[in-house]
Amino acid sequence: MIIAVDGPTASGKGTIAKALAKHFGLPHLDTGLLYRAVGYQCALSGGDPDDPADALAACEFPDELLANPELRSEATGGLASRASIHPAVRQALFERQRAFAHQPGGAVLDGRDIGTVIAPDADVKLFITATIQARAMRRWLEMQGRELDLELREIEADIAARDQRDIHRADAPLRAAEDALVIDTSELDRDAAVAAALDAVNAITGQQSCP
């Protein structure tokens, strides 16, 4: 079973994808982490993520970089959004994601173009969304928990800018697949959001568990 979980930043798609993977006993891939690694590697090498050649060169990042906690930072998220607009970068990472999705038994992948580009044949397609205000507040609380001092309005502006880049990029823009089930998590806490997603998967597949 392949489950595609798409949505904008801080919508809760990662949390939902991890929970679904655990429930159904499936491997999980946060595809956004690949793009974060590219953005981080680009900056680390002194490159410009807005430059297609620099961003493409950064796709050769070492696997151990994926374990670097800096990939989860707000700054790296911005670098990833800038690097991901380049078609050559997306193509370089395409096969890696496709292979993960189509491994024996299936998988859960979360990102921005899983249901539309990476795995359009997914058994379940979810699109997780929320208002910019709700997403910014979640990210602000997360930053506070990590003792990082960021203004809420700065986070809102950053999320809005990322949305614009992701929605309007020429290659694989952020959008819900035509057959995706949209879940708005603006008013849902973590448990309620996961429960809504699990109910959706069960309704679509008619199954309660996966070995």
Q: What CATH number is associated with residue 18?
A: 3.40.50.300
Q: How many domains does the chain have?
A: 1
Q: What is the pLDDT of residue 44?
A: 96
In-domain check, residue 61:
yes
Q: Residue 146: pLDDT above 80?
A: no
What are 211's two structure tokens? 């070995």
Asked, for residue 17, whether it belongs to a domain, the answer is yes
Report yes or no on 211 lying in a domain. no
Give the pTM: 0.84
Report yes or no: 173 and 166 within 8 Å, Cβ to Cβ. yes
Nearest CA among 141, 145, 137 for reference residue 185: 137
Averaged pLDDT for residues 123-130: 98
User: Angle at CA 77, nearest 5°, toward 186 and 169?
Assistant: 85
Q: Is residue 30 in a domain? A: yes
Evaluate whether residue 27 is within a structural domain.
yes
For the ranges 40-54, 117-131, 168-182, 189-203, the lowest mean pLDDT is seen at 168-182
Asked whether residue 96 is domain-assigned, the answer is yes
The verdict on residue 134 lying in a domain is yes
Q: Report how far Cα 178 is from the mean position of its chain's Cα atoms.
A: 19
Task: Return d(Cα 186, Cα 138) in angstroms, integer.
Answer: 10
pLDDT computed for residue 208 by the predictor:
46
Residue 207: per-residue pLDDT: 61
State how far Cα 45 lies from the chain centre.
24
In the prediction, which pLDDT does 147 show?
Answer: 66
Residue 16 lies in a domain: yes
Identify the residue whose tokens are 């795995």. 119
Domain containing residue 185: 2-204
Whether residue 209 is predicted with pLDDT greater than 90 in this model: the reply is: no
**Residue 159 token pair:** 């999320």
What value does the mean pLDDT take over residues 122-141?
Answer: 96
